[in-house]
Structure 1
């Protein structure tokens, strides 16, 4: 994750945490890298000063903290501390090292079917825990997924809300990221866990394509495509395309559950990984670096095509000293056993 130096207006201490760097900024506030006295690193979000007096934003912020407290699972950043009554409310979660899925794809290109399925399986399993806590994320997208050494983590529950709660937005106003939010969110209809499944499907399509399945354009264009047009999945690996298409169904009832999605993605990840391993094993030299021929020295002859190289001309393989030692031990042991056997057969006796 990219870090930036603190600005003059940034606080240096919040609660029990000393701030070191900026991690990013969003519509609600700024996220900092901080640490406590024990050296535990956290991602600490502070509401912007101009929004701290807005009760609607305070309510949304309180909902984010409540959502983070209720979720138990390895695929989310654990809540460490919070202060909702501060002049500028804040909360701190476990710091997750690693790039976002968005940054990884931007830097390295589309991921393989096996990588995409493995990431998707972990995220779907994480969403099971999120939904069991009665929470819908509502803004699942590549930039809200961090790829840590221990697996992907879902972050930023800034617009998450409890199932059954009333939305803070007006009907017809979409809250989320165009191209990744579900059609029902665009229409202002109630969101459900199936809304997160749609967003996860769009996110995994981005991972496999390197772009949103609804292309690029203004917010209005993207929202229209999400509601009225089918996703463009040409280029998505065949192993993933049918499952992702079902996740991107316009009707929430036609999408798989997060549990079904997790199981299917695990199967695909395992099958694709086995296929890649078998392909490499059957072609062990496929990935071997191609060596350029040595430059021809003056006065030397080039062997005719198809002729065999003489033993003296063949490159010597490096000596495996460990293997030589093992063979020497075996040879000595066998020789001694044979000698003892012959001596026993002949009734050999030592000198008197």
Structure 2
């Protein structure tokens, strides 16, 4: 191991949260582990605070806060709890902290059924959002957080809220492209159907360990989008017949997919061994 003389970057000041450490760095911002202020009145020792990259206007702050309030108001045990939103130089919000990590980066080895239960729980969360009149818009393994018994869905697709009117191709990171219904890249808006497609792509990644398009170029979103647009998604041969059927149902043409994310959850439950 080579030791570096470069000191670690100082932790930022994030409102009245006591920042402990950086826990994630993505295309649209960073997540920090922090202790919540007493004003929130919550029992959690830690929360995760997401800080969006770039400055945020007052109008974008109002849009983002409105979306988060609507998300937090949906009564579903499989949605991550959202506690606070603050506008300083950047937009930041605090949510439930998941020490077990996500489907994309689990903190410990993940069993097959645990992973399936996490996707099943995410589908139930998506169904609750849909019934409340909302589409998530960014379902992927990194947004399916792990609990001891399954999972919770987090990180409502706020990037589209902060970039209202921008083309999706201008804000979709390569880590999300694999899970985007191709219809979105052609101008469709997030909907029940596009979220169901994303659930199928997420389930495929969990079961096969690979993407529907192979491995897309890293840190090159435009090349990733081009790859997705130039080929058809392929369900990996390693999936069992029942597993493949669930994935294919989610990826079917518009109008032929399961009618609700709740139906997807039921079909995933049928794949569980216990």
Q: Aligned pair 1:248/2:251, yes or no?
A: yes
CA RMSD of aligned residues (A): 3.1
Which residue is 2:237 aligned to? 234
Equivalent-residue separation in structure 1 for 2:59 and 2:182 (angstroms): 25
User: How many residues end up aligned between the 2 structures?
Assistant: 255
Equivalent-residue separation in structure 2 for 1:100 and 1:172 (angstroms): 25
| Structure 1 residues 54-93: aligned runs within 5 Å | 54=57, 58=61, 61-62=64-65, 64-84=67-87, 86-93=88-95
| Structure 1 residues 281-292: aligned runs within 5 Å | none
- Give secondary structure in 2 for the equivalent of 1:101: coil
Q: Aligned pair 1:44/2:45, yes or no?
A: no
Please report how far the alpha carbon of residue 139 of structure 1 lies from its aligned counterpart in structure 2 after TM superposition. 1.2
Task: Kindly provide the CA deviation profile for residues 118-174 of structure 1, in whole angstroms up to 9, marking residues without a partner as x.
Answer: 333222111111212222111111111111214211121143779xxx953237656
Which residue is 1:169 aligned to? 166
The answer for unaligned runs of 5 or more in structure 1 is 274-352
Task: Describe the shift of the 1:6–1:128 C-alpha distance in structure 2 as closer, same or farther (beyond 3 A).
Answer: farther
The answer for unaligned runs of 5 or more in structure 2 is 1-6
Runs of 4+ in 1 over 6 A off after TM superposition: none
Task: Describe the shift of the 1:55–1:83 C-alpha distance in structure 2 as closer, same or farther (beyond 3 A).
Answer: closer
Equivalent-residue separation in structure 1 for 2:145 and 2:83 (angstroms): 18
Q: Aligned pair 1:262/2:265, yes or no?
A: yes
TM-score by length of 1: 0.63
Q: Does the Cα contact within 8 Å between 1:173 and 1:187 map onto a contact in 2? A: no
Q: Aligned pair 1:99/2:101, yes or no?
A: yes
Equivalent-residue separation in structure 1 for 2:248 and 2:44 (angstroms): 45
TM-score by length of 2: 0.79
Which residue is 1:129 aligned to? 128
| Structure 1 residues 118-197: aligned runs within 5 Å | 118-159=117-158, 167-170=164-167, 173=170, 175=172, 177-197=176-196
Equivalent-residue separation in structure 2 for 1:89 and 1:230 (angstroms): 35
Task: Describe the shift of the 1:25–1:104 C-alpha distance in structure 2 as closer, same or farther (beyond 3 A).
Answer: closer
Task: Describe the shift of the 1:99–1:246 C-alpha distance in structure 2 as closer, same or farther (beyond 3 A).
Answer: same
Q: Does the Cα contact within 8 Å between 1:52 and 1:58 map onto a contact in 2? A: no
Which residue is 1:33 aligned to? 33
Equivalent-residue separation in structure 1 for 2:269 and 2:142 (angstroms): 23
Equivalent-residue separation in structure 1 for 2:148 and 2:191 (angstroms): 30
Equivalent-residue separation in structure 1 for 2:109 and 2:76 (angstroms): 29
Q: Does the Cα contact within 8 Å between 1:214 and 1:222 map onto a contact in 2? A: no
Query: Which of structures 1 and 2 has the larger relative contact order (alpha carbons within 8 angstroms, sep 6+)?
Result: 2
Q: Does the Cα contact within 8 Å between 1:174 and 1:185 map onto a contact in 2? A: no
Task: Describe the shift of the 1:237–1:258 C-alpha distance in structure 2 as closer, same or farther (beyond 3 A).
Answer: same
Equivalent-residue separation in structure 2 for 1:224 and 1:31 (angstroms): 29
